[in-house]
Amino acid sequence: MPTRSFRLPRPLRPVRLSRSATLGLCAVPVAALLVVALLVPLPFTVARPGPTANVLGGRDGQQVVDISGAPVRETEGELRMAAIAATAPDVRHGLGDLLDGWFRTDRTVMPTDAVYPGGGSVREAERYNLREMEKSQHTAVDAALAYLKRDPERVKVTLDLAGIGGPSAGLPLALGIVDKLDGDGSGGELTGGRSVAATGTIAADGTVGPISGAALKAQAVARDGARVFLVPESNCAEARAELPRGLRLVPVSTLDGAVEALRALKGGGRVARC
């Protein structure tokens, strides 16, 4: 029987692409992913320095701290609280917006849930922040009157921040009550007649807690004239990150410590720095 010979096919030779061609092929899917990332909304909020308010003065025609049932001291200095201004919870940002905010010193990119823990719509977020502010106001009154050993049945304190929400005004409100009722305890103002600022949540026992947006709030109070900013000790590193020139950061952990720090600053004593 005659034999048949079979010729095996030649193996395929690998195609060698130039470096530029390889990079071009890789760039296509990468570019597609970037386009998607730029267009798809991400769950982040862009925040910037917001308004400040002098808790020793008035806002929209109303005293921020109004006291009856006890003598109230006249004050010339300022004690400012600060807020951040953030995009609404229903605003969705693409990657381009977030990158712009990330590299700017006057902007901060934050998870939406961190700014609006109540979630939901704009109305729900506003309601949540106002509830937190109301709780903070009640606690600030309790902490200040307990520090001063004043009877809450005889001293009535009304607080009005004209709709500024959030709990971070607890410390400055408590300090404002102390200054209006007792000053520095020696006949003078707790602020020393200067413009100072403070931020921090507060508990009824006077414990000062952390807040969000410390660096932006530092920029806000410096913009509005404060030269000293009392911040929760746990927020020191954040507040120092983009510290405005001429603003001194003082770490505090209790209302008692905050009062002592302001007294020491007034008298030229030694005070801790962040």
Interval 22-76: pLDDT, tens: 445 555 554 544 554 555 555 777 788 999 999 999 877 789 999 999 999 999 9
Residue 19 included in any domain:
no
Please check whether residue 4 lies inside any domain of the structure. Answer: no
User: Which CATH number covers residue 57?
Assistant: 3.30.230
Q: Is residue 43 part of a domain?
A: no
Torsion of CA 60, 61, 66, 70, to 10 degrees: 160
* pLDDT tens profile 127-142: 777 788 889 999 999 9
Q: Count the residues in the chain.
A: 274
Q: Is the dihedral of CA 190, 195, 196, 199 positive or negative?
A: positive
Residue 154 has pLDDT above 50, yes or no: yes
Residue 209 neighbours by CB under 8 Å, 6+ apart: 200, 201, 202, 203, 232
The domain total for the chain is 1
- Establish if 221 belongs to a structural domain: yes
Confidence of residue 17 (pLDDT cuts 50, 70, 90): very low
| Residue 40 lies inside a defined structural domain of this protein | no
**What domain range includes position 147?**
52-86+103-267
CB atoms within 10 A of CB 44: 22
Q: Tell which residue, 56, 92, 61, has the closest CA to residue 77.
A: 56
> Does any domain span residue 184?
yes
Q: Does 120 reside within a domain?
A: yes
**How many angstroms separate the CA atoms of 44 and 159, rounded?**
32
Q: Is residue 201 part of a domain?
A: yes
**Considering Cα of 175, then 79, then 271, then 167, what sign does the dihedral take?**
positive
246-264 pLDDT, tens digit per residue, is 999 999 999 999 999 999 9
Decide if pLDDT at 217 tops 70. yes
